[in-house]
Amino acid sequence: MFDHAHYARLGLEKTYERVLAGTRLTPEDGEALFACPDIHAVGALAFHARARLHGDKTYFVRNRHINYSNVCVNNCRFCAFRRDTGDDGAFTLSREDIVARALDDGGHPFAEIHVVGGCHPDLSLAWFEEVFRALKDVRPRAILKAFTVAEIHHFARQEACGTEAVLRRLKNAGVAMLTGGGAEIFNPEVRRRICPEKISGDDYLRIAGEAHGLGMASNCSMLFGHIESHKDRVMHLCALREQQDKSGGFKCFIPLAFQPRHNELARELENESARAGLQTDTGLDRLRTIAVARLLLDNIPHIKAYWVMLGVKTAQAALHFGADDLDGTIMEEHIGHMAGADAAQALTRRELEDMIRGCGLTPVNRDALFNPLPKENFQEARA
Ligand code: V47
């Protein structure tokens, strides 16, 4: 790392001291890190924080994403995936299709099954309970991670009950964890412009807290690189940190880099002539955001370099800017790809391990809850 004098020259003397002492950074530290002209100095602090937590361990998971439908009652302006019922390209999988996808694992069960697909107008909570029980029947050891808190809110409305009651039913049906999506940016002004129908940031945090209170884990996220300011990002991260102080169940933070194709928000940004004052979407901005997240989120253990949205190469670089997780094999991804992500649809376990070793780090095969998994036989180890 650079020395004290270097950080003092950058005006980051106190931030440097706090990182070295392992004490909490302030929102002002976060903003100063965004403003710092020396990206290496920011990255070095984040790598220090990441190494203190995880050494050179870098996590990945053999997982499968299953998108049950793209029909959604919300109309988030950044989303290229959603459709209305009856639109061209609208789809809804049957229970049998969903189970078949979970079984399509070459005989080596996925450690995580990740099920998302938006707030469907007709599919009921009871239907999903049956789906999850069927998945648990065929793959009892896989950890089921499903829905964002936005869907929990949607089911509560549909069922005219509280969100905690929905969470209890899902937990009883075998769901161990919620996915991190749906957080976007908490600033209500930005939220109104990018996802006007979606639950508020306060509701996002409240429902995540309820899940944690019931012993369910969840991830959390931030959609960045569109119309939000650096201050919005810092405030968003601090709100997640505050919630984590209260409820403690966030396992991992996922910085989701905005994919600017085939969605309304992207068209608006393209057409906007006066873009002065907005950040441009550069690889360095992505790396810096990951670094600031690692430094501010002192109570969230893991930071994900989600290779689908970052691209494989930037995800590798992110492992040296504070991230310690690459997510997983995925197998089939639509949300990012429909919005322009140009990464592959799937990576093999071997590719993930090679990516990590290629960065001089040590791969750790994990489950959805970040428990390291024992070494399997050679054949499975390469699948
Ligand atoms: O909720 C939608 C975001 C999320 C775009 O929990 C977009 O482990 C960028 O949450 N550009 C879904 N992002 C993905 C997600 C996720 C992915 C991997 C792992 C986990 C986890 C969660 O993607 C949505 C939304 O926030 N999104 N459109 C877009 N154009």
Distance 148 CA to ligand 1 centre (A): 10
Task: Determine how many CB atoms are found less than 10 A away from the CB of residue 346.
Answer: 15
How many angstroms separate the alpha carbon of residue 215 from the centre of ligand 1? 23
Q: Candidates 223, 261, 325: which one to mutate for ligand 1, based on the most atoms within 8 Å of Cβ? A: 223
pLDDT at 275: 53
Between the CA of 17 and the centroid of ligand 1 the distance, in Å, is 34
Beta bridge partners of 365: 60
Binned at pLDDT 50, 70 and 90, residue 270 comes out as confident
pLDDT at 280: 60
Give φ, ψ of 246 to 5 degrees: -80, -45
Q: Does residue 383 contact residue 190 with C-beta atoms inside 8 Å?
A: no
Q: How far apart are CA 238 and CA 350, in angstroms?
A: 36
Give CA separation, 310 vs 16, 44, 45, 320, in Å. Answer: 27, 20, 21, 14
Q: How much is the pLDDT for 379?
A: 45
Is 15 near ligand 1, meaning CB less than 6 Å away?
no
* CA distances from residue 227 to 78, 254, 266, 355 in whole angstroms, order as listed: 11, 18, 10, 32
If one residue of 177, 184, 240, 256 were mutated to test the ligand 1 pocket, choosing by the most ligand atoms within 8 A of its CB, it would be: 256
Q: What is the position in ligand 1's atom list of the atom closest to the CA of 219? A: 6
- pLDDT value for 382: 46
**How far does residue 6's CA lie from ligand 1's centre (Å)?**
37
Q: Which atom of ligand 1 is nearest to the CA of 81?
A: 28
Determine what percent of the chain is predicted with pLDDT higher than 70: 96
**pLDDT at site 383:** 47
pLDDT in tens, 138-182: 999 999 999 999 999 999 999 999 999 999 999 999 999 999 999
- How many Å lie between the centroid of ligand 1 and the Cα of residue 139? 25
Q: Is the CB of 221 under 6 A from ligand 1?
A: yes
**Whether the CB of 112 sits within 6 Å of ligand 1:** no
Phi, psi of 359 (to 5 degrees): -95, 5
**C-alpha distance from residue 214 to each of 101, 177, 208, 242, 374 (Å):** 29, 11, 10, 19, 28
pLDDT the model gives residue 282: 84
pLDDT tens-digit readout, 193-238: 999 999 999 999 999 999 999 999 999 999 999 999 999 999 999 9
Q: Give 70-116 as a DSSP string.
A: -B-S---TT-SS-B-TTSTT--B--HHHHHHHHH-STTS--SEEEEE
The pLDDT tens digits of the residues spanning 231-240 come to: 999 999 999 9
Task: Convert the pLDDT of each residue in 111-144 to its tens digit.
Answer: 999 999 999 999 999 999 999 999 999 999 999 9
Strands 175-178 and 143-146: parallel
Distances (CA, A) of 10 to 33, 40, 179, 259, 292: 10, 12, 37, 32, 16
Ligand 1 centroid, distance to 248 Cα (angstroms): 22
pLDDT score recorded for residue 377: 46
Distance, in Å, from the CA atom of 266 to the CA atom of 258, rounded to the nearest integer, reads: 9
Q: What is the pTM of this model?
A: 0.96
Q: 277 falls in which pLDDT band (50, 70, 90)?
A: low
Q: Is the pLDDT of residue 293 over 60?
A: yes
22-71 residue pLDDT tens: 999 999 999 999 999 999 999 999 999 999 999 999 999 999 999 999 99
Closest to 156 measured CA to CA, from 203, 91, 195: 203
Residue 3 CA to ligand 1 center (angstroms) comes to 37
Q: What is the pLDDT of residue 381?
A: 43
